[in-house]
Amino acid sequence: MNDQQTVCRGSIAAALLLLLLLACVLPAQAQAAKKKPLNVLFIAVDDLNNDLGVYGHKSVKSPHIDRLAKRGVRFDRAYCQFPLCSPSRTSLLTGLRPDTTRVYDLQKHFRATLPDVVTLPQLFKNNGYFSARVGKIFHYGVPGQIGTSGLDDPASWDTVVNPRGRDKDEEDKVINLTPNRSLGSALAYLEADGTDEEQTDGMVATETIRLLEASRDKPFFIAAGFYRPHCPYVAPKKYFAMYPLDQITLPRDPADDRTDTPAHAHFTNPPHWGLSEADQKKSIQAYYASITFMDAQVGRLLDALDRLKLRDNTVIVFWGDHGYALGEHGDWMKQTLFEESARAAARVRAGKAGQREKQPRPGRVRGHLSDARAACRADFARRAGR
């Protein structure tokens, strides 16, 4: 794949999520008298890379995300527009590139540049959908702004819920392996006491289920924003136990790995912030535990859709805002253009409509999408009746 194809696929993958969701609104306008429009459950995950079972990872346990992928379409080459939370989220939710939104950091709100732009949830709201958010969809700082609205966009929602769990209240218990860095950008963790439901992400699932129950008889766009695996890596102890430290492996890079790249290509200086291999393994264990904890909350949402008989009439979008490095090239977290940082997790299940074809069209098989560019055009054209 050449550089031009890579950039194109990155833009197309983000655009496809928007177009597929917009395609729910268009048939609703044109065929309102014929059938009920599809609902949308939009699941956004903070700082999730592709270390998932569905992407072939042999260690990470993600049974519920894998279950979702088997029901729908997995995007193998989805790339973020900018490897940082706010620019990436703003780009997806407005459908505009960062050089248009002018959002490059974690402080600027896109409406300072584009006061009249219509966001994705706002478009659904304007077309008669109930639009609601639980947790982090637009940007706000983690963990500092947990329990607040941060850089949210009030025009996009009818209802918002900002949960705050014991992970926020027990920050003093977090172990920071990089004490010179704040918790929002640190290799830090906590093997938490208590239940899933007491954690902020557990509350996200609980409140999202409550909204699904209350909105089952009307078209909805409900967004569930999970905070983990964003640092600090906090999850109940049982999830840490799933990843024994003696089974954690570190990436192996050549000794001269950084000699052919400029200093600005890297986020982590010095490499690994000088951590020992033991601390690096502990960080990876904690990150994986956070993924599996978050995955369990996704499973609660999928189970609720089944229980409420909403699965066949609901588009489910699962999206990570960017990737996340775990020591590759000596880097951790995001803010680089290396594969681990720029590649995002994405999958879509288009309700019962997504299973209408007995034979998949060229380039598509269930659980996989091999040519995002072609499928994007074909799917949108078909749904829009063009």
Catalytic residue list? 85, 139
Phi, psi of 38 (to 5 degrees): -70, 145
The Cβ of residue 261 has, within 10 Å, a number of other Cβ atoms equal to 12
Tokens, residue 113: 């540049």
For residue 40, the cross-strand partners are 221, 315
- Name the maximum alpha-carbon separation found in the chain: 65
Asked if 158 contacts 126 with a C-beta cutoff of 8 angstroms, the reply is no
How far apart, in Å, are the Cα atoms of 90 and each of 8, 247, 249? 19, 38, 35
Q: How far apart are CA 111 and CA 290, in angstroms?
A: 32
Vertex 348 angle, CA 145 and 243, to 5°: 60
How far apart, in Å, are the Cα atoms of 137 and each of 33, 158, 278, 316? 32, 14, 34, 15
| Nearest in space to 226 (alpha carbons), one of 163, 296, 135 | 135
Burial 160-173 (b: 16+ CB within 10 A, else e): bbbbebbbbebbee
| Nearest in space to 87 (alpha carbons), one of 103, 108, 110, 101 | 103
| Nearest in space to 40 (alpha carbons), one of 343, 310, 250 | 310
